[in-house]
Amino acid sequence: MNRPYTIATLGSHSALQILKGAHDEGFKTLAVANRDTETLYRSFAFIDEVIGVDSYSEFPSLMGELEKRKVIIVPHGSFVAYLSLEEHKKMTIPYFGNKAVLDWEASRELQREWLTKAGIMMPRQFKSGAEIDRPVIVKLYGAGGGKGYMFIRDAHDFEKRSKELKKAYTIQEYIVGVPLYIHYFYSPLQDRVEIMSMDRRYETNVDSLGRIPAAAQEGMDVSPSYVVVGNQPVSLRESMLAEALRMGENVVKVSKEIAGPKGLFGAFCIETIITPDMQFFCMEISARIVAGTNLFIDGSPYSYLNYTEPMSTGRRIAREIKNALLTNNLRLVLDDSSRL
């Protein structure tokens, strides 16, 4: 390919994976980095250009300059953290993904409607502390990476601890099981969902409590927290793979009914907890590349089944854009607001 487009992203989250993948697929690459991270991104040979900004919130002001070049933006988790939904929608620069899905992802209520329509089980939601009749997890809105989440045993426990809650929150049934984050890719060109990889998060201190016997915990002032500090690769019991794939396919199918004909495409992740009767409960869906895919920059056991070369999620995104360009279908993989 004669490298007509540059793939650009913010310098954080999964930028290295996205840009390495873009480079391997023959694109030029650009990172917008802040003063702290500029040197890091400049140190990699596969990144052709780095634009330094004082703060990521300056990103929208770069649009004029980026539009002059043939740039395609690949968003990741930090876009959601640094740019508001309105700012996302205002951008007319070519954008990989469907922005209509963002509204469905941003609201816990709409997410629930979407996932339930897709036949996916979700933990029960409680409207108030008084309704609590089982162990719950209290989740703060906008909390990144499980920070500030609380495990609550019952309504009485909630009453005692609710004064610690300074931000808006939701109360969700606590599912006892193992967490599994499934990374998918939906290709609109091939109308096909692929499982790219899977991970589990390594969370402090909930993942260490099992190392202290329950009897010894009694009287200790320790309660679980859910702060993510890392990710571990997982392969799923093969008999459960068909269900995992079905969930991904159903989520895509329903997204086309609720978020415009293009629906959800590209990378996404269903965050699940699996109970002892092997039931998947979905905690949340992320409608873009998630940081857990960084474990698989060199590919995963699952991507190896589909590709005999290293295929990260970042590279898969670039491959889709490349295939769209080669078949004159670029619009199919960009948000409708994209000005080409």
- Cβ proximity to ligand ATP: between 137 and 252 the closer is 137
CA-CA distance, 178 to 280, in Å (whole number)? 10
Angle at 198 between CA 169 and CA 95, to 5 degrees: 70
Identity of the residue, 286 or 312, whose beta carbon is nearer to ligand ATP in the bound complex: 286
Binders in 103-132 for ligand ATP, by CB under 6 A = 123
Does residue 284 belong to the site contacting ligand ATP (CB under 6 A)? Answer: yes
Instruction: Kindly calculate the radius of gyration of the chain based on its CA atoms and give it in whole angstroms.
Output: 21
CA nearest to 181, candidates 263, 302, 320: 302
Q: Give the separation between CA 231 and CA 291, rounded to whole angstroms.
A: 9
Nearer to ligand ATP, 58 or 131 (CB): 131
Residue 208 C-beta: closest distance to ligand ATP, Å: 13
Q: Which DSSP letter does residue 76 get?
A: B
Cis peptide before 205 (omega within 30 of 0): yes
Under 8 Å between Cβ of 152 and 137: yes
CB of 268 to ligand ATP, least distance (A): 12
Q: Which of 78, 172, 197, 313 binds ligand ATP (CB under 6 A)?
A: 172
User: For residues 151 and 307, which CB has a smaller minimum distance to ligand ATP in the complex?
Assistant: 151
Q: Which of 7, 137, 287, 318 binds ligand ATP (CB under 6 A)?
A: 137
Is 259 a residue that touches ligand ATP (CB under 6 A)?
no
- Binder of ligand ATP out of 59, 104, 149, 184 (CB under 6 A): 149
Within 10 angstroms of residue 121's Cβ, the number of other Cβ atoms is 16
- The window from 109-117, 166-174, 240-248, 250-258 that contacts ligand ATP (CB under 6 A) reads 166-174
Torsion of CA 323, 325, 328, 329, to 10 degrees: 70
Write down the residue that tokens 């929208």 correspond to. 60
Contact pattern for ligand ATP over residues 191 through 220, marking x by CB under 6 A: ----------x-x-----------------
Rounded Cα–Cα distance for residues 121 and 281 (Å) = 5
Q: For residue 112, which phi and psi values (nearest 5 degrees)?
A: -60, -45
Residues 304-333 vs ligand ATP: string with x where CB under 6 A?
------------------------------
- What residue ranges bind ligand ATP (CB under 6 A)? 123, 137, 143-146, 149, 172-175, 179, 201, 203, 226, 271, 273, 283-284
